[in-house]
Chain A
Amino acid sequence: MNRQSGYRAFAVLSGALILTVVMMVSQRKVKASPPSESSIMGTVKLDGTAPHQRPIDMSKEPSCAAEHKANPVTTENVVVGSGGGLKNVVVYISEGWSGPEQAASGTPTWDQHGCQYIPHVMGLDVNQHFKVTNSDPTSHNIHPMPKPGGPNHEWNKSQPSGAPPIDTSWPAEEVAIHVKCNIHPWMSGYMVVVKGPYGVSDDSGSFKIENVPPGNYTLTAWQETYTPQTQKVTVAAGKPVTANFTFKAK
Protein backbone atom coordinates (compact mmCIF):
# COMPACT_ATOMS: atom_id res chain seq x y z
CA MET A 1 0.00 0.00 0.00
CA ASN A 2 1.40 3.42 -0.92
CA ARG A 3 1.28 6.46 1.36
CA GLN A 4 -1.70 8.14 -0.32
CA SER A 5 -4.02 5.17 0.04
CA GLY A 6 -2.70 4.71 3.60
CA TYR A 7 -3.79 8.23 4.56
CA ARG A 8 -7.16 7.71 2.89
CA ALA A 9 -7.76 4.46 4.75
CA PHE A 10 -6.88 6.19 8.02
CA ALA A 11 -9.28 9.04 7.31
CA VAL A 12 -12.12 6.67 6.46
CA LEU A 13 -11.55 4.55 9.55
CA SER A 14 -11.39 7.60 11.86
CA GLY A 15 -14.53 8.99 10.31
CA ALA A 16 -16.31 5.71 10.78
CA LEU A 17 -15.14 5.52 14.38
CA ILE A 18 -16.24 9.07 15.18
CA LEU A 19 -19.60 8.44 13.51
CA THR A 20 -20.11 5.29 15.58
CA VAL A 21 -19.34 7.08 18.82
CA VAL A 22 -21.65 9.97 17.95
CA MET A 23 -24.46 7.57 17.10
CA MET A 24 -23.99 5.66 20.34
CA VAL A 25 -24.00 8.82 22.44
CA SER A 26 -27.09 10.13 20.72
CA GLN A 27 -28.95 6.92 21.46
CA ARG A 28 -28.29 7.24 25.23
CA LYS A 29 -31.48 6.69 27.22
CA VAL A 30 -33.16 9.99 27.87
CA LYS A 31 -35.38 9.93 30.94
CA ALA A 32 -38.78 11.28 30.14
CA SER A 33 -42.02 10.55 31.98
CA PRO A 34 -43.90 8.16 29.79
CA PRO A 35 -47.15 9.84 28.91
CA SER A 36 -49.08 6.90 30.37
CA GLU A 37 -47.91 7.51 34.00
CA SER A 38 -50.52 8.85 36.31
CA SER A 39 -50.97 9.91 39.92
CA ILE A 40 -53.05 8.88 42.90
CA MET A 41 -54.35 11.56 45.17
CA GLY A 42 -56.82 11.83 47.95
CA THR A 43 -57.65 13.06 51.41
CA VAL A 44 -57.25 11.35 54.74
CA LYS A 45 -59.79 12.25 57.36
CA LEU A 46 -60.39 11.44 60.98
CA ASP A 47 -63.88 10.41 61.94
CA GLY A 48 -64.47 11.54 65.49
CA THR A 49 -62.53 13.60 68.02
CA ALA A 50 -58.78 13.31 68.05
CA PRO A 51 -57.35 12.07 71.35
CA HIS A 52 -56.08 14.81 73.65
CA GLN A 53 -52.52 15.82 72.70
CA ARG A 54 -50.45 16.55 75.79
CA PRO A 55 -48.42 19.74 76.08
CA ILE A 56 -44.64 19.33 76.10
CA ASP A 57 -42.60 21.20 78.70
CA MET A 58 -39.07 21.82 77.36
CA SER A 59 -37.82 23.72 80.39
CA LYS A 60 -34.74 21.52 80.76
CA GLU A 61 -33.56 22.96 77.44
CA PRO A 62 -34.06 26.72 77.83
CA SER A 63 -33.11 27.60 74.23
CA CYS A 64 -35.86 25.34 72.90
CA ALA A 65 -38.36 26.38 75.57
CA ALA A 66 -37.83 30.01 74.54
CA GLU A 67 -38.63 29.20 70.91
CA HIS A 68 -42.04 27.85 71.81
CA LYS A 69 -42.99 30.42 74.42
CA ALA A 70 -45.54 32.06 72.12
CA ASN A 71 -46.83 28.81 70.59
CA PRO A 72 -46.79 25.93 73.09
CA VAL A 73 -46.01 22.54 71.62
CA THR A 74 -47.91 19.29 72.11
CA THR A 75 -47.39 15.64 71.23
CA GLU A 76 -48.12 14.84 67.59
CA ASN A 77 -49.62 11.35 67.81
CA VAL A 78 -52.75 12.51 66.02
CA VAL A 79 -52.65 15.82 64.16
CA VAL A 80 -55.93 16.99 62.75
CA GLY A 81 -56.30 20.18 60.69
CA SER A 82 -59.41 22.30 60.48
CA GLY A 83 -61.82 20.36 58.29
CA GLY A 84 -60.98 17.03 59.86
CA GLY A 85 -57.93 16.35 57.68
CA LEU A 86 -55.46 13.91 59.26
CA LYS A 87 -51.84 14.90 58.86
CA ASN A 88 -48.70 12.72 58.74
CA VAL A 89 -50.35 9.72 57.10
CA VAL A 90 -48.06 7.87 54.70
CA VAL A 91 -49.89 6.36 51.73
CA TYR A 92 -47.88 3.86 49.71
CA ILE A 93 -48.31 0.93 47.33
CA SER A 94 -48.16 -2.28 49.35
CA GLU A 95 -49.13 -4.68 46.54
CA GLY A 96 -48.82 -4.67 42.78
CA TRP A 97 -45.75 -2.48 42.37
CA SER A 98 -43.39 -3.89 39.78
CA GLY A 99 -41.31 -0.82 39.08
CA PRO A 100 -38.00 0.15 40.64
CA GLU A 101 -37.74 0.07 44.44
CA GLN A 102 -36.54 3.62 44.46
CA ALA A 103 -39.17 5.60 42.64
CA ALA A 104 -38.88 8.83 44.56
CA SER A 105 -36.17 11.33 43.67
CA GLY A 106 -34.45 13.88 45.80
CA THR A 107 -32.77 13.86 49.19
CA PRO A 108 -35.26 14.97 51.82
CA THR A 109 -34.06 16.65 55.00
CA TRP A 110 -34.89 15.52 58.53
CA ASP A 111 -34.31 18.60 60.66
CA GLN A 112 -33.91 18.99 64.41
CA HIS A 113 -35.38 22.41 65.17
CA GLY A 114 -36.83 23.80 68.38
CA CYS A 115 -36.16 20.37 69.90
CA GLN A 116 -38.64 18.77 67.50
CA TYR A 117 -38.28 16.65 64.40
CA ILE A 118 -39.33 18.46 61.24
CA PRO A 119 -41.06 16.68 59.56
CA HIS A 120 -42.64 14.53 62.27
CA VAL A 121 -43.20 11.75 59.72
CA MET A 122 -41.08 11.19 56.61
CA GLY A 123 -41.70 8.79 53.74
CA LEU A 124 -38.65 7.21 52.15
CA ASP A 125 -37.82 4.64 49.52
CA VAL A 126 -35.42 1.77 50.16
CA ASN A 127 -31.89 3.15 49.64
CA GLN A 128 -33.16 6.68 49.15
CA HIS A 129 -30.69 9.08 50.71
CA PHE A 130 -31.84 11.60 53.29
CA LYS A 131 -30.01 14.24 55.31
CA VAL A 132 -30.25 14.78 59.07
CA THR A 133 -29.53 18.36 60.13
CA ASN A 134 -29.36 20.20 63.45
CA SER A 135 -30.71 23.74 63.33
CA ASP A 136 -30.72 24.24 67.08
CA PRO A 137 -28.14 25.98 69.27
CA THR A 138 -28.00 22.82 71.38
CA SER A 139 -26.70 19.31 70.67
CA HIS A 140 -28.97 16.47 69.66
CA ASN A 141 -28.36 12.74 69.45
CA ILE A 142 -30.64 11.19 66.86
CA HIS A 143 -31.53 7.56 67.52
CA PRO A 144 -33.66 5.70 64.96
CA MET A 145 -34.97 2.42 66.34
CA PRO A 146 -35.73 -0.10 63.59
CA LYS A 147 -36.94 -3.58 64.44
CA PRO A 148 -34.25 -5.38 66.48
CA GLY A 149 -32.51 -8.14 64.53
CA GLY A 150 -33.95 -6.88 61.26
CA PRO A 151 -32.15 -5.79 58.09
CA ASN A 152 -32.17 -2.13 59.14
CA HIS A 153 -29.61 -1.54 61.85
CA GLU A 154 -30.13 0.67 64.88
CA TRP A 155 -27.76 3.61 65.19
CA ASN A 156 -27.41 6.89 67.04
CA LYS A 157 -25.28 9.92 66.35
CA SER A 158 -24.51 13.14 68.16
CA GLN A 159 -24.71 16.42 66.32
CA PRO A 160 -23.54 19.52 68.16
CA SER A 161 -24.87 22.84 67.00
CA GLY A 162 -23.49 23.59 63.54
CA ALA A 163 -22.44 20.01 62.84
CA PRO A 164 -22.49 18.89 59.20
CA PRO A 165 -25.58 16.98 58.01
CA ILE A 166 -25.67 13.19 58.30
CA ASP A 167 -26.23 11.65 54.87
CA THR A 168 -27.60 8.13 55.05
CA SER A 169 -30.30 5.73 53.82
CA TRP A 170 -32.16 2.59 54.86
CA PRO A 171 -31.39 -0.68 53.04
CA ALA A 172 -34.73 -2.39 53.67
CA GLU A 173 -38.40 -1.51 53.80
CA GLU A 174 -39.86 -0.99 57.25
CA VAL A 175 -43.16 0.50 58.29
CA ALA A 176 -42.27 2.32 60.43
CA ILE A 177 -39.04 3.25 62.16
CA HIS A 178 -39.52 5.24 65.36
CA VAL A 179 -36.94 7.97 65.85
CA LYS A 180 -36.07 9.50 69.20
CA CYS A 181 -33.42 11.83 70.60
CA ASN A 182 -31.22 10.36 73.31
CA ILE A 183 -30.79 13.77 74.95
CA HIS A 184 -34.34 15.15 74.75
CA PRO A 185 -36.83 12.45 75.74
CA TRP A 186 -39.91 14.19 74.29
CA MET A 187 -38.58 14.25 70.70
CA SER A 188 -40.31 11.70 68.53
CA GLY A 189 -40.77 11.03 64.82
CA TYR A 190 -41.23 8.25 62.29
CA MET A 191 -39.47 7.21 59.08
CA VAL A 192 -41.58 5.03 56.82
CA VAL A 193 -39.39 3.11 54.35
CA VAL A 194 -41.22 1.57 51.40
CA LYS A 195 -40.68 0.37 47.84
CA GLY A 196 -42.15 2.44 45.05
CA PRO A 197 -43.81 5.84 45.17
CA TYR A 198 -45.56 7.24 48.24
CA GLY A 199 -47.24 10.37 49.53
CA VAL A 200 -47.53 11.94 52.98
CA SER A 201 -50.69 13.80 53.95
CA ASP A 202 -50.38 17.48 54.84
CA ASP A 203 -52.29 19.79 57.21
CA SER A 204 -55.50 19.40 55.24
CA GLY A 205 -55.10 15.62 54.98
CA SER A 206 -54.27 15.77 51.25
CA PHE A 207 -51.68 13.49 49.72
CA LYS A 208 -50.46 12.83 46.18
CA ILE A 209 -48.52 9.86 44.82
CA GLU A 210 -46.81 10.73 41.53
CA ASN A 211 -45.41 8.67 38.65
CA VAL A 212 -47.68 5.64 38.90
CA PRO A 213 -47.84 3.54 35.74
CA PRO A 214 -51.15 1.90 34.83
CA GLY A 215 -52.03 -1.19 36.85
CA ASN A 216 -53.90 -2.66 39.77
CA TYR A 217 -52.51 -1.73 43.14
CA THR A 218 -53.26 -2.02 46.84
CA LEU A 219 -52.69 1.18 48.73
CA THR A 220 -51.88 1.20 52.44
CA ALA A 221 -52.35 4.27 54.60
CA TRP A 222 -50.18 4.23 57.73
CA GLN A 223 -50.70 6.49 60.75
CA GLU A 224 -48.63 6.17 63.91
CA THR A 225 -51.56 5.68 66.29
CA TYR A 226 -54.25 3.90 64.27
CA THR A 227 -54.33 0.53 62.53
CA PRO A 228 -53.25 0.85 58.88
CA GLN A 229 -55.96 0.92 56.25
CA THR A 230 -55.86 -0.57 52.77
CA GLN A 231 -57.67 0.17 49.56
CA LYS A 232 -57.49 -1.34 46.08
CA VAL A 233 -57.15 1.04 43.12
CA THR A 234 -56.83 0.65 39.39
CA VAL A 235 -54.73 3.26 37.62
CA ALA A 236 -55.46 3.90 33.96
CA ALA A 237 -53.03 5.53 31.59
CA GLY A 238 -52.83 9.29 32.03
CA LYS A 239 -55.88 9.54 34.31
CA PRO A 240 -55.41 10.58 37.96
CA VAL A 241 -57.14 8.35 40.50
CA THR A 242 -58.69 9.49 43.76
CA ALA A 243 -58.39 7.38 46.90
CA ASN A 244 -59.66 8.71 50.21
CA PHE A 245 -59.11 7.22 53.63
CA THR A 246 -60.99 7.69 56.87
CA PHE A 247 -59.59 6.66 60.22
CA LYS A 248 -61.93 6.18 63.11
CA ALA A 249 -61.02 7.87 66.37
CA LYS A 250 -61.51 5.42 69.22
Chain B
Amino acid sequence: MAKLFAVTIVVIVILSAIPIVRNTWHPMEDISTHGQAIDDQLSETMIEAGISFLASQFILAWFIWKFSVSKTQSKKASPVESRSFPGGAAGVVIASFVLVGAEVLALGAFGIKAWANIYFTPPAADAMPVQVQSGQFAFYFRYPGPDGKFGPIHPDMINEANQNIFGLDTDHDPDSKDDIVTAEMAIPVNREVRLLMHSKDVSHSFYVPALRIHQDFVPGLDLQLHFTATKVGRYEIVCSQLCGLGHYNMRAYLSVMSKEDFDSWLKKQATLQ
Protein backbone atom coordinates (compact mmCIF):
# COMPACT_ATOMS: atom_id res chain seq x y z
CA MET B 1 0.00 0.00 0.00
CA ALA B 2 2.76 2.36 0.91
CA LYS B 3 4.62 1.60 -2.27
CA LEU B 4 1.48 2.42 -4.24
CA PHE B 5 1.29 5.72 -2.38
CA ALA B 6 4.90 6.49 -3.29
CA VAL B 7 4.20 5.76 -6.95
CA THR B 8 1.08 7.93 -6.84
CA ILE B 9 3.08 10.83 -5.50
CA VAL B 10 5.62 10.52 -8.30
CA VAL B 11 2.89 10.32 -10.95
CA ILE B 12 1.02 13.36 -9.62
CA VAL B 13 4.25 15.37 -9.40
CA ILE B 14 5.30 14.57 -12.95
CA LEU B 15 1.83 15.23 -14.37
CA SER B 16 1.60 18.60 -12.65
CA ALA B 17 5.08 19.61 -13.74
CA ILE B 18 4.51 18.81 -17.43
CA PRO B 19 2.30 21.78 -18.40
CA ILE B 20 4.56 24.19 -16.53
CA VAL B 21 7.71 22.86 -18.08
CA ARG B 22 6.09 22.89 -21.51
CA ASN B 23 5.24 26.56 -20.88
CA THR B 24 1.71 26.23 -22.19
CA TRP B 25 0.48 29.44 -20.56
CA HIS B 26 2.03 32.71 -21.62
CA PRO B 27 1.68 35.90 -19.68
CA MET B 28 0.26 38.91 -21.51
CA GLU B 29 2.69 40.55 -23.88
CA ASP B 30 4.88 43.00 -22.03
CA ILE B 31 4.53 46.52 -23.40
CA SER B 32 6.60 48.27 -20.75
CA THR B 33 10.26 49.20 -20.49
CA HIS B 34 10.70 47.80 -16.99
CA GLY B 35 8.69 44.61 -17.38
CA GLN B 36 11.43 42.31 -18.63
CA ALA B 37 13.13 42.21 -15.23
CA ILE B 38 9.81 41.27 -13.61
CA ASP B 39 9.17 38.49 -16.10
CA ASP B 40 12.71 37.18 -15.55
CA GLN B 41 12.15 37.22 -11.81
CA LEU B 42 8.95 35.26 -12.25
CA SER B 43 10.72 32.68 -14.41
CA GLU B 44 13.56 32.30 -11.92
CA THR B 45 11.09 31.84 -9.08
CA MET B 46 9.21 29.20 -11.04
CA ILE B 47 12.42 27.34 -11.84
CA GLU B 48 13.76 27.42 -8.29
CA ALA B 49 10.44 26.53 -6.76
CA GLY B 50 9.89 23.89 -9.38
CA ILE B 51 13.23 22.19 -8.73
CA SER B 52 12.64 22.32 -4.97
CA PHE B 53 9.16 20.92 -5.44
CA LEU B 54 10.27 18.04 -7.63
CA ALA B 55 13.25 17.25 -5.42
CA SER B 56 11.26 17.28 -2.19
CA GLN B 57 8.47 15.14 -3.57
CA PHE B 58 10.81 12.58 -5.18
CA ILE B 59 12.81 12.31 -1.95
CA LEU B 60 9.58 11.88 0.01
CA ALA B 61 8.42 9.14 -2.38
CA TRP B 62 11.78 7.43 -2.16
CA PHE B 63 11.71 7.36 1.63
CA ILE B 64 8.16 6.01 1.60
CA TRP B 65 9.18 3.30 -0.86
CA LYS B 66 12.39 2.39 0.94
CA PHE B 67 10.89 2.12 4.39
CA SER B 68 7.55 0.68 3.38
CA VAL B 69 6.69 -2.57 5.18
CA SER B 70 4.07 -5.07 3.95
CA LYS B 71 1.38 -6.36 6.34
CA THR B 72 2.97 -9.77 6.64
CA GLN B 73 6.39 -8.29 7.24
CA SER B 74 5.20 -5.98 9.99
CA LYS B 75 3.94 -8.99 11.95
CA LYS B 76 7.53 -10.22 12.31
CA ALA B 77 9.42 -9.20 15.36
CA SER B 78 12.48 -7.50 13.85
CA PRO B 79 11.97 -3.84 12.92
CA VAL B 80 13.33 -2.37 9.68
CA GLU B 81 16.75 -0.86 10.05
CA SER B 82 16.71 2.88 9.90
CA ARG B 83 19.20 5.61 10.40
CA SER B 84 18.57 9.05 11.67
CA PHE B 85 19.49 12.35 10.13
CA PRO B 86 22.89 13.63 11.32
CA GLY B 87 22.25 15.84 14.32
CA GLY B 88 18.79 14.36 14.90
CA ALA B 89 15.70 16.54 14.83
CA ALA B 90 17.69 19.69 15.49
CA GLY B 91 19.87 18.86 12.54
CA VAL B 92 16.87 18.54 10.23
CA VAL B 93 15.50 21.88 11.36
CA ILE B 94 18.80 23.66 10.87
CA ALA B 95 19.36 22.07 7.47
CA SER B 96 15.94 23.00 6.14
CA PHE B 97 16.24 26.47 7.59
CA VAL B 98 19.54 27.02 5.80
CA LEU B 99 18.40 25.48 2.51
CA VAL B 100 15.02 27.21 2.25
CA GLY B 101 16.42 30.42 3.66
CA ALA B 102 19.17 30.47 1.07
CA GLU B 103 16.67 29.94 -1.70
CA VAL B 104 14.39 32.73 -0.56
CA LEU B 105 17.32 35.09 -0.04
CA ALA B 106 18.63 34.31 -3.49
CA LEU B 107 15.30 35.09 -5.07
CA GLY B 108 15.10 38.29 -3.07
CA ALA B 109 18.60 39.32 -4.12
CA PHE B 110 17.84 38.74 -7.79
CA GLY B 111 14.52 40.55 -7.48
CA ILE B 112 15.92 43.67 -5.84
CA LYS B 113 17.00 45.08 -9.16
CA ALA B 114 13.53 44.64 -10.68
CA TRP B 115 11.95 46.36 -7.67
CA ALA B 116 14.47 49.20 -7.49
CA ASN B 117 14.05 49.85 -11.18
CA ILE B 118 10.43 50.79 -10.56
CA TYR B 119 10.40 52.20 -7.06
CA PHE B 120 13.84 53.62 -6.37
CA THR B 121 14.55 55.37 -9.62
CA PRO B 122 13.08 58.85 -9.98
CA PRO B 123 10.87 59.70 -12.96
CA ALA B 124 12.45 61.57 -15.84
CA ALA B 125 12.22 65.35 -15.56
CA ASP B 126 9.97 65.55 -18.62
CA ALA B 127 7.71 62.64 -17.66
CA MET B 128 4.07 63.42 -18.43
CA PRO B 129 2.03 63.70 -15.23
CA VAL B 130 -1.39 62.05 -15.08
CA GLN B 131 -3.44 61.80 -11.92
CA VAL B 132 -5.72 58.89 -11.14
CA GLN B 133 -8.38 58.84 -8.43
CA SER B 134 -9.85 55.51 -7.46
CA GLY B 135 -13.26 55.47 -5.84
CA GLN B 136 -16.02 52.96 -5.43
CA PHE B 137 -16.35 51.79 -8.23
CA ALA B 138 -14.56 53.61 -11.03
CA PHE B 139 -11.22 55.14 -11.93
CA TYR B 140 -11.13 58.74 -13.09
CA PHE B 141 -8.13 60.54 -14.53
CA ARG B 142 -6.96 64.13 -14.62
CA TYR B 143 -4.55 65.87 -16.95
CA PRO B 144 -3.07 69.21 -15.89
CA GLY B 145 -3.93 71.05 -19.10
CA PRO B 146 -1.84 73.66 -20.90
CA ASP B 147 -0.68 75.36 -17.65
CA GLY B 148 0.94 72.08 -16.56
CA LYS B 149 -0.46 72.42 -13.04
CA PHE B 150 -3.07 70.40 -11.20
CA GLY B 151 -5.56 72.55 -9.36
CA PRO B 152 -6.25 71.79 -5.66
CA ILE B 153 -8.72 69.09 -4.70
CA HIS B 154 -11.61 69.94 -2.36
CA PRO B 155 -13.10 66.62 -1.19
CA ASP B 156 -16.17 68.39 0.18
CA MET B 157 -16.95 69.59 -3.34
CA ILE B 158 -16.88 66.13 -4.90
CA ASN B 159 -20.24 65.67 -6.62
CA GLU B 160 -20.47 62.75 -8.98
CA ALA B 161 -24.01 63.64 -10.06
CA ASN B 162 -22.59 66.87 -11.49
CA GLN B 163 -19.48 65.14 -12.84
CA ASN B 164 -17.22 67.04 -10.43
CA ILE B 165 -15.24 63.91 -9.69
CA PHE B 166 -12.12 65.45 -8.20
CA GLY B 167 -13.84 68.20 -6.23
CA LEU B 168 -12.37 71.04 -8.28
CA ASP B 169 -13.35 74.62 -7.65
CA THR B 170 -12.98 76.10 -11.12
CA ASP B 171 -14.64 79.32 -9.99
CA HIS B 172 -11.96 80.14 -7.43
CA ASP B 173 -8.87 78.09 -8.31
CA PRO B 174 -7.25 79.32 -11.56
CA ASP B 175 -5.06 76.21 -11.83
CA SER B 176 -8.19 74.02 -12.01
CA LYS B 177 -9.75 75.89 -14.91
CA ASP B 178 -7.89 74.04 -17.64
CA ASP B 179 -7.68 70.64 -15.92
CA ILE B 180 -9.04 67.82 -18.05
CA VAL B 181 -10.94 65.06 -16.25
CA THR B 182 -11.61 61.84 -18.13
CA ALA B 183 -13.06 58.39 -17.51
CA GLU B 184 -10.56 56.77 -19.87
CA MET B 185 -6.79 57.02 -19.62
CA ALA B 186 -4.77 57.75 -22.71
CA ILE B 187 -1.02 58.13 -22.98
CA PRO B 188 1.36 58.64 -25.85
CA VAL B 189 3.54 55.67 -26.78
CA ASN B 190 7.20 55.72 -25.79
CA ARG B 191 6.72 58.67 -23.46
CA GLU B 192 7.43 58.29 -19.77
CA VAL B 193 4.34 58.84 -17.65
CA ARG B 194 4.33 59.91 -14.02
CA LEU B 195 1.19 58.51 -12.44
CA LEU B 196 -0.04 60.31 -9.32
CA MET B 197 -2.38 58.08 -7.37
CA HIS B 198 -4.81 58.57 -4.53
CA SER B 199 -8.01 56.99 -3.34
CA LYS B 200 -11.28 58.80 -2.71
CA ASP B 201 -12.46 56.24 -0.19
CA VAL B 202 -11.18 52.70 0.51
CA SER B 203 -8.27 50.65 -0.75
CA HIS B 204 -8.20 49.83 -4.45
CA SER B 205 -5.45 48.72 -6.81
CA PHE B 206 -4.25 49.85 -10.19
CA TYR B 207 -3.45 46.80 -12.26
CA VAL B 208 -2.49 46.80 -15.93
CA PRO B 209 -1.11 43.34 -16.70
CA ALA B 210 0.40 44.31 -20.03
CA LEU B 211 2.29 47.19 -18.42
CA ARG B 212 3.53 45.05 -15.53
CA ILE B 213 2.14 47.72 -13.21
CA HIS B 214 0.37 46.65 -10.05
CA GLN B 215 0.05 49.19 -7.27
CA ASP B 216 -2.37 49.43 -4.38
CA PHE B 217 -4.10 52.66 -3.50
CA VAL B 218 -3.83 53.22 0.23
CA PRO B 219 -6.44 55.65 1.59
CA GLY B 220 -4.68 58.75 2.83
CA LEU B 221 -1.49 58.21 0.85
CA ASP B 222 -0.43 60.01 -2.31
CA LEU B 223 1.52 57.46 -4.33
CA GLN B 224 3.55 57.80 -7.49
CA LEU B 225 4.57 55.44 -10.21
CA HIS B 226 6.41 55.99 -13.45
CA PHE B 227 6.46 53.84 -16.54
CA THR B 228 6.74 53.95 -20.30
CA ALA B 229 4.46 52.08 -22.69
CA THR B 230 6.07 50.78 -25.84
CA LYS B 231 3.14 49.56 -27.91
CA VAL B 232 -0.01 51.23 -29.21
CA GLY B 233 -3.22 49.53 -28.18
CA ARG B 234 -6.15 49.44 -25.79
CA TYR B 235 -5.62 47.77 -22.43
CA GLU B 236 -7.74 47.19 -19.40
CA ILE B 237 -7.06 48.72 -16.00
CA VAL B 238 -8.68 46.55 -13.38
CA CYS B 239 -9.09 47.07 -9.68
CA SER B 240 -7.36 44.18 -7.95
CA GLN B 241 -8.03 45.02 -4.32
CA LEU B 242 -11.45 44.01 -3.00
CA CYS B 243 -13.19 47.30 -2.37
CA GLY B 244 -16.87 46.52 -1.99
CA LEU B 245 -19.87 45.15 -3.82
CA GLY B 246 -18.93 46.71 -7.14
CA HIS B 247 -15.29 45.62 -7.14
CA TYR B 248 -16.00 43.11 -9.90
CA ASN B 249 -17.20 45.94 -12.12
CA MET B 250 -14.40 48.39 -11.33
CA ARG B 251 -12.26 49.01 -14.36
CA ALA B 252 -11.18 51.62 -16.86
CA TYR B 253 -9.50 51.47 -20.24
CA LEU B 254 -5.98 52.60 -21.07
CA SER B 255 -5.30 53.63 -24.65
CA VAL B 256 -1.70 53.92 -25.75
CA MET B 257 -1.66 56.16 -28.80
CA SER B 258 0.74 57.80 -31.18
CA LYS B 259 1.71 61.33 -30.19
CA GLU B 260 -0.57 62.90 -32.82
CA ASP B 261 -3.56 60.77 -31.83
CA PHE B 262 -2.97 61.55 -28.17
CA ASP B 263 -2.79 65.31 -28.79
CA SER B 264 -6.07 65.31 -30.69
CA TRP B 265 -7.67 63.05 -28.06
CA LEU B 266 -6.64 65.43 -25.28
CA LYS B 267 -7.94 68.41 -27.24
CA LYS B 268 -11.29 66.69 -27.70
CA GLN B 269 -11.49 65.79 -24.02
CA ALA B 270 -10.83 69.43 -23.12
CA THR B 271 -13.99 70.42 -25.01
CA LEU B 272 -16.03 67.82 -23.11
CA GLN B 273 -15.29 69.34 -19.68
Q: Which residues of A contact B (CB under 8 A)?
A: 54-61, 75, 77, 138-139, 141, 158, 178, 180, 182-186, 188
- A185–B140 Cα gap in the complex (Å)? 11
Contacts of A188 in B (CB 8 A): 160-161
- A146–B146 Cα gap in the complex (Å)? 41
A16 to chain B, nearest CB (A): 66
Query: Of B162, B184, B244, B252, which contacts A54 at CB under 8 A?
Result: B162
Contacts of B162 in A (CB 8 A): 54, 75, 77
Asked, given contacts A139-B249, A183-B137, whether A60 binds B183 with beta carbons under 8 Å apart, the answer is yes
Whether B24 sits at the interface, judged by CB under 8 Å, is no
Query: Of A59, A138, A158, A180, which contacts B183 at CB under 8 A?
Result: A59
Contacts of A57 in B (CB 8 A): 182-184, 272
Whether B138 sits at the interface, judged by CB under 8 Å, is yes
B101 to chain A, nearest CB (A): 45
Task: Give 1 or 0 for each of B213-257: 1 = CB within 8 Å of chain A CB.
Answer: 000000000000000000000000000000011100111110000
- A60–B138 Cα gap in the complex (Å)? 7
* CB–CB B137/A182 < 8 A: yes
Contacts of A158 in B (CB 8 A): 245
* CB–CB A183/B272 < 8 A: no
Query: Of A58, A141, A178, A180, which contacts B245 at CB under 8 A?
Result: A141
Tell me which of B161, B246, B252 has the highest count of chain A C-beta atoms within 10 A of its own C-beta: B161
Contacts of B135 in A (CB 8 A): 185
Query: Of A55, A56, A61, A186, which contacts B249 at CB under 8 A?
Result: A61
* CB–CB A141/B163 < 8 A: no
Whether B136 sits at the interface, judged by CB under 8 Å, is yes
Q: List 25 A-B contacts (CB under 8 A).
A: A54-B162, A54-B273, A57-B182, A59-B183, A59-B253, A60-B138, A60-B250, A60-B251, A60-B252, A75-B161, A75-B163, A77-B161, A77-B162, A138-B249, A158-B245, A178-B161, A182-B136, A182-B244, A183-B246, A183-B249, A184-B137, A185-B137, A185-B160, A185-B165, A186-B163
- A180–B161 Cα gap in the complex (Å)? 8
Residue of chain B at shortest CB distance from A51: B162
Asked, given contacts A57-B183, A59-B253, whether A182 binds B163 with beta carbons under 8 Å apart, the answer is no
Asked, given contacts A55-B272, A57-B183, A59-B253, whether A183 binds B160 with beta carbons under 8 Å apart, the answer is no
- A75–B163 Cα gap in the complex (Å)? 7
Tell me which of B136, B163, B244, B245 has the highest count of chain A C-beta atoms within 10 A of its own C-beta: B163
Residue of chain B at shortest CB distance from A224: B161
- Give 9 new A-B contacts, CB below 8 A, not counting A75-B162, A183-B137: A54-B163, A57-B182, A59-B184, A60-B250, A139-B249, A180-B160, A182-B246, A185-B137, A188-B160
Residue of chain B at shortest CB distance from A57: B183
